[in-house]
């Protein structure tokens, strides 16, 4: 089982990270790339985002989430990268991937990790738009999605 | 005692401040003091969703602090 997590203070290449998921026995590799939008749902132009993190606990939260996915699902490899700092529209914020013998485990593991990253990973996200900046919090939909995985 | 802030609180107050501490001060007491010192952050600091850490561990409002403690206030997180 390969578990790789990284707090990326500089940009990363999602295609390179996906290429790193080549695992011999994996019949399936599932991945999710979250990017900084250039517009809000109402059409307001977004100039970028700022992600704040905790110097010690944020990386631990990524390891915890990836490790829990590896425990919960029958996987061969897990990979999670998450940016911090200033992020321009279009840039990747998060990469989550899982490799497994069968597709169901890989797909569900990525879904699980994204729901937990949205609600538990220790980041604070500020969206900077043409009409000002706002700090973003998980929505009710985010919390409901994460709650699906509660035992 | 050092107090760290993250997210919107860091933007309003700064990443870190240092304050003097009376014997037996609790997290709740520090929170009230900060609300008075930083009116622009008062609404956020008063939210129950804003968690406190002491030396990187979650801590309740009745936790008694020492001058060597590192206290942190964390607004609701949002990753992904």
Question: What does each C-alpha distance from A127 to A41, A85, B79 come to in angstroms?
Answer: 13, 12, 12
The verdict on B3 touching A (C-beta cutoff 8 Å) is no
* pLDDT score at A151: 66
d(CA B59, CA A143): 23
Question: What does each C-alpha distance from A88 to A17, A57, B46 come to in angstroms?
Answer: 19, 25, 32
Residue whose structure tokens are 């700092």: A85
Chain B contact set for A124 (CB, 8 A): 6-8, 10, 75, 77-78
Mean pLDDT (chain A, rounded): 94
pTM: 0.92
Instruction: Give me the tens of pLDDT residue by residue for chain A, a chain 151 residues long.
Output: 899 999 999 999 999 999 999 888 788 999 999 999 999 989 999 999 999 999 999 999 999 999 999 999 999 999 999 999 999 999 999 999 999 999 999 999 999 999 999 999 999 999 999 999 999 988 888 888 888 898 6
pLDDT digits (tens, 9 = 90+) for A10-51: 999 999 999 999 888 788 999 999 999 999 989 999 999 999
Is A93 within 8 Å of B80 when comparing Cβ atoms? yes
Chain B contact set for A135 (CB, 8 A): 7-8, 11, 75, 78
A8 secondary structure, DSSP code: E
pLDDT digits (tens, 9 = 90+) for B52-65: 999 999 999 999 99
* pLDDT score at B70: 94
**Dihedral sign of CA atoms A51, A5, B58, A111 in order:** positive
d(CA A70, CA B13): 39
The verdict on A70 touching B (C-beta cutoff 8 Å) is no
Which helix H or strand E contains A52, and what residues bound it? strand A46-53
* pLDDT score at A25: 78
- Measure in Å the smallest separation between the Cα of B27 and chain A Cα atoms: 20
Is B80 within 8 Å of A118 when comparing Cβ atoms? yes
3-state secondary structure of B68: coil
* pLDDT score at A53: 98
């Amino acid at each position: 089982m390969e578990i790789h997590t990284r707090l990326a203070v500089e940009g990363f290449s999602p295609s390179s990270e996906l290429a790193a998921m080549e695992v011999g026995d994996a019949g399936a590799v599932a991945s999710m790339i979250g990017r900084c939008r250039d517009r809000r749902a109402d059409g307001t132009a977004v100039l970028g985002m700022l992600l704040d993190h905790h110097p010690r606990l944020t990386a631990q939260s990524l390891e915890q989430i990836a490790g829990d996915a590896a425990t919960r699902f029958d996987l061969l490899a897990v990979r999670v990268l998450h940016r911090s700092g200033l992020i321009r529209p279009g840039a990747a914020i998060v990469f989550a991937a899982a490799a497994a013998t069968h597709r169901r485990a890989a797909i569900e593991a990525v879904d699980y990790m994204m729901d937990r990253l949205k609600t538990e990973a220790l980041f604070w996200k500020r969206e900077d738009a043409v009409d000002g900046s706002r700090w973003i919090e998980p929505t009710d939909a985010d919390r409901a999605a994460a709650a699906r995985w509660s035992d | 005692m050092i107090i760290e802030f993250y997210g919107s609180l860091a933007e309003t107050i700064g990443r870190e401040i240092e304050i003097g501490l009376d014997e037996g001060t609790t997290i709740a007491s520090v929170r009230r003091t900060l609300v008075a010192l930083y009116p622009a952050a008062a609404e956020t600091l008063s939210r129950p969703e804003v968690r406190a850490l002491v030396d990187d561990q979650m801590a309740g409002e009745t936790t008694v602090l020492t001058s060597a403690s590192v206290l942190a206030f964390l607004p609701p997180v949002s990753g992904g």
